[in-house]
Structure 1
């Protein structure tokens, strides 16, 4: 998992039918490519089918089938399918998303002893919680059923799911302990434009002049802006993105040479790639590939 101090995100207003406390949707799409966004509702996302990169707060990680993440209120996030999937007209990206208001435990059942464990879990979810594939497989049928159900039966299923979530310890936090989203919607257009430019051009040389132009700022002003908003330099962010792509290639293309992977990930030389990879992952690309092969 790569961790970065990330960027501003778009505020997404989720339209709720307030006759229903829980909003659960089964999604079937050509690919995942929703803008980097946040919302006040708590969210549980299950990826049924799809591969790509997941961004939660200041964390960048790979996602595959069975990815199950609990997101706290206001935590920015994005699931982005691999670029190879973008060319397909088939609906190869499938997910179930359950959303509900934080008022469920903050207001509606604030003094309920029965929901104390749930309140603790949702507080932990402020950092984003990634559950194991084993636990994900256990709750997948229930989430799918919730997406197809209404009325009191939906409430019953959701609270059964809550019980399972509070009883397991099979999860890890995604963001840094001291990560706090600093979100203002007015920054969203600038930051999403920068993010999209990186996604489309990371294999090529990207200069500070290029990216400052996207932000409509001078180079010194852009560097100050990005550092202030993310506590990271733009170069650090770009390197983390490229390393994430390289890790995908190291895992998914075992016969691709390290040199070709460096080039395909936007690094100018294999020496530079090896140096940056070891800095971010604490091992060389060759050692990373070997470790992955042994564990799979």
Structure 2
């Protein structure tokens, strides 16, 4: 999918941005920008797409996305709270905002390596997320030199985390070709929104999406596979299994009910896809990962 380009402009008197995502009036969709972005979601759940990574997120989700790496977060409707209302803190800074050679100096070597790894997206465990989340919250109202020091301290803490997990695949690359085509981006956004809004519909089809994109099925298949590294069915199944995982952990619903809520028409196919993507059965997943309700 072709992500939309987002131009970010810091407020007057600031060289980088740090804000509560819920303060924005419109939701942010699949997008990219030159700035490095650190996103912390204290409470919420849904699907996270970073490059060619599709995964689930829950409370205390902390992700560092590198420059020009496409990304988005889509919340679970069953939790009743859209992502743009989540208490998500977002920190954004251009890699060269302190000068093109700042992160090349020897003192910044570990942070330079962190930013290089972030080109594929980095996820951080809960203990680091909570600690860094508190620092990001304080950064929203910080002013003067303490604001810049706060940013550098956050990057220093992240650079010392050995448990960070890379998200996008090793071979993932995004190449921005020419000037963004508004019509194409509108078409892609329509497809993304349609898939996210109809995951529970077992009749959601490849032909339906191709029609929505105003493309013939074979051309749409090539376009989608080239852009995401996945077939349409694989992409939809990953999102559906992610939704099923959260339902298994956050509800007492029977597995067969969750199967249908996640958009699968029969239990055997659901179990097969679940095992394929999670290497265990839905019941085993619930036993291992659920918290008390």
Tell whether the structures are fold-level matches, with TM greater than 0.5.
yes
| Residue 65 (structure 2) aligns with | 71
Q: Quick check: 1:211 aligned with 2:209? A: yes
Give the 5 Å matches for 1:136-175.
136-175=129-168
Matched residue of 2:21: which SS? strand
Q: Quick check: 1:57 aligned with 2:55? A: no
User: Is residue 103–residue 111 contact of structure 2 (8 Å, CA) maintained in 1?
Assistant: no
Matched residue of 1:21: which SS? coil
| Residue 4 (structure 1) aligns with | none
Q: Which moved more, 1:45-54 or 1:195-204?
A: 45-54
Alpha-carbon RMSD across the aligned residues, in angstroms, is 2.5
User: Is residue 76–residue 243 contact of structure 2 (8 Å, CA) maintained in 1?
Assistant: no
Distance 1:87 1:132 in 2: 23
Instruction: Kindly state the Cα deviation for residue 85 of structure 1 after the two structures are TM-superposed.
Output: 4.4
User: Is residue 50–residue 70 contact of structure 2 (8 Å, CA) maintained in 1?
Assistant: yes
| Residue 282 (structure 2) aligns with | 285
Distance 1:237 1:124 in 2: 25
User: Is residue 130–residue 173 contact of structure 1 (8 Å, CA) maintained in 2?
Assistant: yes
Q: Which moved more, 1:38-47 or 1:76-85?
A: 76-85
Distance 2:246 2:4 in 1: 27
Distance 1:28 1:262 in 2: 32
| Residue 248 (structure 1) aligns with | 246
Deviation sequence 1:108-148 (CA, Å, 0-9, x none): 41541111111111000011111111112222222111110
Instruction: Kindly state the Cα deviation for residue 18 of structure 1 after the two structures are TM-superposed.
Output: 7.1
Question: Runs of 4+ in structure 1 displaced over 4 angstroms?
Answer: 29-33, 85-88
Count of aligned pairs between the two proteins: 287
Instruction: Kindly state the Cα deviation for residue 182 of structure 1 after the two structures are TM-superposed.
Output: 3.4
Shift in CA distance, 228/156, structure 1 to aligned 2, threshold 3 Å: closer
Give TM-score scaled by structure 2 length. Answer: 0.89
User: Is residue 75–residue 81 contact of structure 2 (8 Å, CA) maintained in 1?
Assistant: no
Distance 2:26 2:44 in 1: 8
- Structure 1 residue aligned with 2:35, among 31, 41, 47? 41
Give TM-score scaled by structure 1 length. Answer: 0.88
Instruction: Kindly state the Cα deviation for residue 86 of structure 1 after the two structures are TM-superposed.
Output: 4.6
Distance 2:292 2:219 in 1: 45
Q: Which runs of 5+ in 1 are unaligned?
A: 1-6
Distance 1:143 1:58 in 2: 27
- Structure 2 residue aligned with 1:118, among 106, 111, 124? 111
| Residue 122 (structure 2) aligns with | 129
Shift in CA distance, 74/30, structure 1 to aligned 2, threshold 3 Å: closer
Matched residue of 2:100: which SS? helix
- Structure 2 residue aligned with 1:103, among 73, 96, 99? 96
